[in-house]
Each structure stands twice: as C-alpha cells, then as structure tokens.
C-alpha cells in the first residue's frame, strides 16, 4: 500500500508543487512579511473518540494541532478557519457550542481571529478541518530543510506523554478533574495539548535554528522527515531523551522510552542548530538529544553504548 | 432545530467575529491589496454520491465551489489547500490520483497553486475540505452587504440546471459522454460546475456592483442572504428569470421555475447595481431580474402579474 508520504511526494512531483512539504506553506505577504498557512483534518474514530474527550478539549485540540504547525515555522498565528461536518444528533445537542468554546479559549490566548470556515451535515462521524494563517518576518520562516551535518539536535519539553495518555484511554481510563496524577497529566497531554508558540518565538528571536518541525507523528518519524527534507542523517542518544516524568512513574524504562521515541502528538518542537549555539539556548526548556550527520536518511540511536538504526515507527495514516 | 445560519449568527455574536458572513473573509495583505480566503466542506452521501460522479469531476467540483466564492467577492484566486479524509479501499484504488487530476486541471486554468492541505484516513465516507486564498485591490472586495433600495438585481448565466442534473441522478440517470443533450448538459451543471471568475473580473472592472453573492444554496436562499446582509428587501419577476434552456425542454414551466428559484449549486453570480448601470452591463452574460426594495428581509416574487412572498427554500444543511 502506498503511504501518505509517498502519495504526497508523488503529487508534488507530478504537479511541480514546491510549496508543499513543510509544517506550513510559506507565501509572500508584503515587503517585510511572509504569510504561513496550514490545514489539519481530524476524523472521529481515527484521530479521536468522542467518549474519550470533552467537546471543549476537542475544540482546543483542533486549534492546537494547527498552532503547533505555525510554531514549527517560527511564525505567529493571526487568523483561522474551522470546517466541521457533524451529524444531526450531535448538532441538536450543545456539543458544537462547547466545541467552539474550547476552540475560542485557546484562540483568545494567542489572539487568533476566526474569520470563516464551513458547517456541513455528516451522516454519522464528526470531521474537523482546522486552518490557521500566520505571519513571519520575510525570509525567516524556519523550514524542515536547513539542517547541516554537525548541527546539534534539540527537543522541547518532554516526550511520550501524549502516547501515554492514549494508552490510558485504550485501557478505559477516562479524564476527570479528580483523577490522580500522573494519569490526569498524561490524559491532558493527549486530549488538550499545548502548542509551543511562546518557545518558538524565543527560538526565532535567537536566530539559531537551521530547521524545525513539530512532533506530531512521533520523534522517530518527525526526525526522519526533518532529515529527508534537509538531505542529512541524525544520531540521537537514549540517555538524553526527555522522557515524560509521568510515564516513568507508570512504566518500566524501556516501555517509556518506546513511547518517547515513537508516540505521536506531543506537539513539542524538534530543531537543529549549530553546536556553538548550545549555550545561547541554555535558558530555554529544550534538551540537546544528538546531532545531525551526513548519513542521508539514516537515524542512528545510541542505547546503553550500543548503536542501532532507528526506523520511523510513528503514526502513519495509511 | 437550530439552522446552520442561526448557529453561525450566534457564534458570530458570542465571540465578536466581524469577518464572518460573506462568501470569503477579507484580510489586509499589503498597502495595495486585500486577501480573501474561503473554505468549503463536501461530505460523501450528503453533498455527493461517489457512484453519481467521476473522481475527476469531484476534484473539479471541490475546487470550483471555492473558486465561486472567490469570484463572488470580485477577487482573483491565487493559492489553495485541499484536505481529504479517505477510506482505505478508495485510497488503494486510483481514486485519489484521478481526483487530484480533476482538481489540477481546473487549478491550472486559473493559475491556482496547491500549497498544502492534509490527507487523513476515514472509517468510511470521503470528506473534502477545499480552501482557496485570493487577492483583490484594497477596499474593492464586493461584499453581500452593500445593496441599496432602488438598485437593480442581476444574475449571470442560467438557473436551475444543476438542480435539474441532481433530479436526473436521483432518477438513476448517470453521466456518460454519449448521453444525449439536454440530459448530458444538465449533469455537467451538477457534476462539473464552472466558477464565474472571468465574469466576476469584468463586473469588478466596471465598478458598479454594490453587493454580490454566488448562487450555491439556490436563488431564493442566496437572495435572502444578500438582503439580510444589506438590510434591504428585493422584488424579482418570474418572467425575467433565466431558466436553464435544457430544463425547459424536459419539464413544464412551473417545475422548471421551481428549480430555478430554489435549486442550488448553479454557481452563478447574483449581484445588485445602481439602475443607471444597466447599460454598462449590457454586453455581459447577465440578466436583470428585479430590484432592491427598502422592505427589510422580504423577497417579493411577481408571477403572472401576481405578487407572492418568496420564502427561502434552497439548500439547508440542518
């Protein structure tokens, strides 16, 4: 079966679509500014389950995934559109109002204006398409394609928490305010993720990142994406990975590491920067996890002093 | 049950969303230019049936509906995104490639660049979200809200053809190149609509339209939308309506008139302009069908010398 990545590569080549292949498309806006724009589709029973979440969390997440793409370009979000297809039963409930409430609370936080979209009826499952437009100083969008051999690789925050939350949901654990940590925090990582816009702004200001991507499919997949776009390889060290602290409380180290490597939807930032810039980044919540190599398309993984090849095992739609 | 229109009005009011309510949102781009942007969601078994169309027609239509929104603002399309959720069976066939082929053939015609989007898996039904961005000279976007009492009302092309095509599909008539007219032409109106971008450009150049909308829900609905946005009413004359010539061959006059009034998806342009401009518009494929009145929200309909009130009977999602 063709993968979605192969399909997109093929469509790109067939139709000469050079703008495609980053977290956002970059388009000229005016003399000083570029515009960035992204779309993310969320499908019920594929990307979420209605009985696993709340309408407010889902509205928040629909916007968060797109804001994370804007952050990954080092850009600022400005406007958004929201298209939803919703079945009549859900339409008649207060679901859509509560969904918009969750959406708007996050939008307000980052001053994002809802300017349009579409509301359609669906025969049964909910489908959401989240579109966000943003701005970045001309020529300063941080693409996936600029990493150079020798660059250090950094990742923000912690990894594996969202996948840990998903695992809890699959074990029939549901979110409630009174749920004890670490379970509650893991579910929040999965259901109500935080886009790293503030951190992205600081990274942008320091002007050191040569390439950046957000972790949506999983570290192993997204590092491969970054390497392929940059025509490089990477080597990362297990002992440096910022494995989610709640995961470590619930799982043995190997299982936690597996989720940190291959679990998706952490929406952390993964970026490369010249080694010399490590000190400049010292005060930011980022961790150096490895370095870029000239070994095109190969991601090496050091575990207990042994070298392995890291396959991309993150989320694939097909 | 709340209608989608009421819902959108309510969300607009709750969150102070002033940009919402036209065919496109209008956003500042640079000193000379505004940007317009629109999103349209198409859902299998609601907006289309896969066995009624071809992948190429569907790709064409997905883009055409959004280009029609761009045309209705008097703007020029520039870039597009396409999000699709597709089930595995369809994914494994050549459906998606043929869909993109139909999409691209229309995109090429109007120099629209695909810059992004999303591909997601769906449990069964196909869902498409079509996003198009365009440009218009600053302050020159033609909104729904500018119609003045006394303005003449114009409509482009012909009405009811797309609904006629839909009626044929419901009677199990399917498109083929060898199908005789008028059936073939009606099916083309439904399955492969033409966005009126060239005409919109001419209307824009003449600078006479005070308000404009595209006919997607149906003349009665869309004229109501235009009147509500402008705070006016309208009076139209049955004898002036450009009823599709193929419809008239297949149906009695009353049935044809009913489809021309309430059938959706003709994607013609409906606009108001000062009466004095009628001569300026003479050489364009538009017909004067009535006039704007001060009778807020009321659409009068003259049939055989008798005055009726025209309710909005066009397509509603809920």
Q: Break chain A down into helix, strand, coil percent, rounded to 5.
A: 40, 25, 35
Q: How far apart are CA B169 and CA A239, in angstroms?
A: 63
Q: Which residues share a beta bridge with A35? A: A27, A135
Q: Contact, A122 vs B127, CB < 8 A? A: yes
Mean pLDDT across chain B: 94
Asked if B131 and A39 come within 8 Å (Cβ–Cβ), the reply is yes
What confidence score (pLDDT) does residue B169 get? 97
List pLDDT tens digits, range B144-202: 999 999 999 999 999 999 999 999 999 999 999 999 999 999 999 999 999 999 999 99
* Residue A22: count of CB within 10 angstroms of its CB: 24
Distance, CA of B67 to CA of B87 (rounded, Å): 26
CA gyration radius for chain B? 19
B105 pLDDT higher than 90: yes
Chain B contacts of A85, Cβ < 8 Å? Answer: 41, 43, 46, 127
- Residues B194-244: pLDDT tens digits? 999 999 999 999 999 999 999 999 999 999 999 999 999 999 999 999 999
Q: Cα A269 to chain center, whole Å?
A: 7
Q: How do residues A68-123 score in pLDDT, each as one tens digit?
A: 999 999 999 999 999 999 999 999 899 999 999 999 999 999 999 999 999 999 99
> What ipTM was predicted for this assembly?
0.94
- pLDDT at A314 (0 to 100): 67
Alpha-carbon gap, residue B112 to B134, rounded angstroms? 9
| pLDDT score for A21 | 79
Token pair 């829900």 in the structure block, residue: B217
Res. B313 pLDDT band, cuts 50 70 90: confident
Task: Flag whether residue B28 sits within 8 Å of chain A, measured between CB atoms.
Answer: no
Q: Radius of gyration of chain A from Cα atoms?
A: 19
Residue A1: is its pLDDT beyond 80?
no
Higher pLDDT, B54 or B120: B54
Q: Min CA distance, A94 vs chain B (Å)?
A: 11
Contact A50/B at CB under 8 A: no
DSSP A112: P
Which pLDDT tens digit goes with each residue over A216-243? Answer: 999 999 999 999 999 999 999 999 999 9
| pLDDT at residue B20, rounded to an integer | 79
Scanning B108-147 for CB atoms below 8 A from A yields: 113-123, 125, 127, 129, 131, 133
Q: Looking at CA atoms only, how far is residue A124 from chain B in angstroms?
A: 9
User: Is the distance from CB of A5 to CB of B118 less than 8 angstroms?
Assistant: no
User: What pLDDT shows up at residue A316?
Assistant: 60
Residues of chain B above pLDDT 90, percent:
88
pTM score, whole prediction: 0.95
Per-residue model confidence (pLDDT) at position A19: 67
Interface membership of A284 toward B (CB under 8 Å) = no
Q: Cα dihedral sign for A94, A95, A96, A98? A: positive
Across chain B, the runs of DSSP E, i.e. the strands, are 25-28, 33-43, 76-86, 113-121, 127-137, 152-156, 211-214, 233-237, 269-273, 286-293, 299-303, 306-309
A260 in contact with B, Cβ within 8 Å: no
């Amino acid at each position: 079966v063709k993968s979605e990545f192969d399909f997109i590569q093929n469509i790109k080549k067939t139709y000469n679509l050079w703008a495609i292949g980053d977290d956002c498309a970059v388009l000229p806006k005016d003399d000083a500014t570029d515009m960035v724009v992204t779309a993310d589709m969320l499908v019920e029973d594929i990307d979420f389950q209605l009985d696993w979440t709340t309408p407010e969390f889902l509205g928040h997440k629909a916007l968060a995934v797109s804001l994370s793409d804007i952050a990954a370009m080092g850009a600022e979000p400005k406007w958004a559109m929201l298209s939803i297809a919703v079945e009549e039963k859900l339409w008649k409930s207060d679901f859509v109002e509560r969904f918009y409430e969750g959406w708007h609370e996050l939008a307000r936080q980052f001053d994002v204006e809802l300017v349009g979209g579409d509301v359609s009826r669906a025969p049964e499952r909910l489908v959401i398409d989240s579109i966000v437009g943003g701005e970045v100083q001309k020529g300063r969008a941080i693409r996936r394609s600029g990493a150079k051999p020798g660059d250090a690789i950094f990742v923000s925050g912690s990894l594996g928490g969202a996948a840990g939350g998903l695992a809890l949901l699959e074990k029939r654990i549901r979110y409630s305010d009174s749920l004890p940590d670490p379970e509650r925090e893991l579910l929040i990582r999965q259901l109500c993720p935080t886009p790293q816009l503030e951190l992205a702004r600081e990274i942008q200001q320091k002007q050191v990142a040569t390439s950046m991507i957000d972790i949506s499919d999983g570290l192993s997949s997204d590092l491969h994406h970054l390497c392929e776009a940059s025509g490089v390889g990477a080597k990362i060290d297990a002992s440096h990975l910022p494995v989610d602290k709640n995961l470590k409380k619930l799982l043995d180290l190997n299982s936690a590491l597996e989720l940190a490597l291959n679990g998706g939807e952490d929406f952390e930032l993964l970026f490369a920067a010249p080694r010399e810039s490590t000190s400049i980044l010292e005060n930011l919540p980022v961790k150096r996890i490895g370095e870029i190599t000239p070994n095109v398309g190969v991601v090496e993984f050091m575990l207990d002093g042994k070298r392995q090849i890291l396959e991309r095992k993150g989320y694939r739609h097909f």
